Amino acid sequence: MFEILKVFTKLGFISFGGPVAAMALMEKECHHKRRWISHEIFENAYTLCKLLPGPASSQLAIFLGAHRKGFWGGILAGLSFFIPGSILIVVLGHFYIQDHHRPLFDRLFYGMNPVVLAIIVDSMIRMGRPYIQDIKFTVLMVFGFLVMLRFSEYELFLILFSGLVSIAWEWRAQKSGKLYELSALFAFAILSFKAGTLMFGGGFAIIPLLKSHMVDIHGWLTEREFLDGLTLGLITPGPIMKSIVFFGYKMGGWGGALVGFSGTFLPSFIYTFSAMPLLTRLQNIKSWNHFVEGAIAAIIGGIAALIFSFAQTSLIDSFTWIACVICFLLLLTNRVPAILLLLLGSGLGYFVKT
């Protein structure tokens, strides 16, 4: 058990660059280096975690721990992986909300926010690349984009609707051929649990839902604060979903952070332990795969609408436009780590704004 604690705490501190990078590090540590798991089982677990709602890298950590040492091994691995980045983002958040530190953060985020936008665009493209040649996917994606531009608060219903439309489409084809009060705390707890429960396609997929509720509906955060929280989630190790921990801290201190942490990551344990016995069977259920395809189409449409909104906040002059385009092109090469671009962006932003 100590070895699980050591390995996944280490991974929790060094997992920069998004879920794919984190899962690659897990393969290196648990398969190549320690031989805890065979390549075949790892690949099956990887696929299953990508199919399940929730942060895939977190669920893979739980699976690997459970595969090694049973139920409590999974619990220990998951917590060891989640906690380092969550603590770090709260520490940074503490300095962020201090008025005398705001000018410094304003300069840093001036350069980092365009990089974040480029990362989101890159993530959206990678998410949709396996499906983009499918006309059904393209139709649902464009529909999702148009709906989310006007009715962002209905993203959950849009995802469910698109998933069901995707199933029906295939069936038809086969046939024919701030937490100021307890009520707000409760609402935030429900939102964070909903985010952890209904996230398909990685952490970026749930961002439109979070923005809709936290910025547009409840007004708990400004759009700038929301984007800054995403930036903090990207520059700290672990899944970007830990940005919800920062949002909770920003609105309600450590109590809010704990609510965000619990609501976001609890579903990962539930999903992973429930789905482990279905490791091979779930991948062969065609209706599930069609549902996921339709859901991802709607999610990408929502992300595109989010990018449109964020661009109006982040791309405010020639420097931010140029920085965003250059970073996006560098991300497409797969040779420059996202964390390096964020650090360079913060440095350039500080220099330009000084």
Using the predicted structure, report yes or no on whether residue 177 has a pLDDT greater than 50.
no
Using the predicted structure, report yes or no on whether residue 165 has a pLDDT greater than 80.
no
Question: How many angstroms separate the most distant Cα atoms in the chain?
Answer: 66
- Name which of 45-59, 123-137, 276-290, 306-320 the model is least confident about: 276-290
Using the predicted structure, report yes or no on whether residue 178 has a pLDDT greater than 80.
no
* Domain parsing of the chain, residue ranges: 88-353
Residue 13, judged by CB atoms within 10 A of its CB (0-12, 13-18, 19+), counts as: middle
Using the predicted structure, report yes or no on whether residue 156 has a pLDDT greater than 70.
no
pLDDT in the model for residue 174: 58
> Residues 205-236, buried b or exposed e (16+ Cβ, 10 A)?
bbbbbbbbbbbeeeebbebebbbbbbbbbbbb
pLDDT in the model for residue 99: 64
Q: Which of 96-105, 188-197, 200-209 has the largest mean confidence?
A: 188-197
| Mean pLDDT confidence for 1-25 | 80
| Mean pLDDT confidence for 78-88 | 90
Q: Which tokens is 330 given?
A: 């560098």
Chain-centroid distance of CA 186 in Å reads: 22
**pLDDT digit string, tens, across residues 242-287:** 888 898 888 878 878 888 888 888 878 877 887 777 665 666 676 7
Task: Report the amino acid identity of residue 77.
Answer: A
Using the predicted structure, report yes or no on whether residue 328 has a pLDDT greater than 70.
yes
**Mean pLDDT score of the chain, rounded to an integer?**
80
Higher pLDDT, 286 or 191: 191
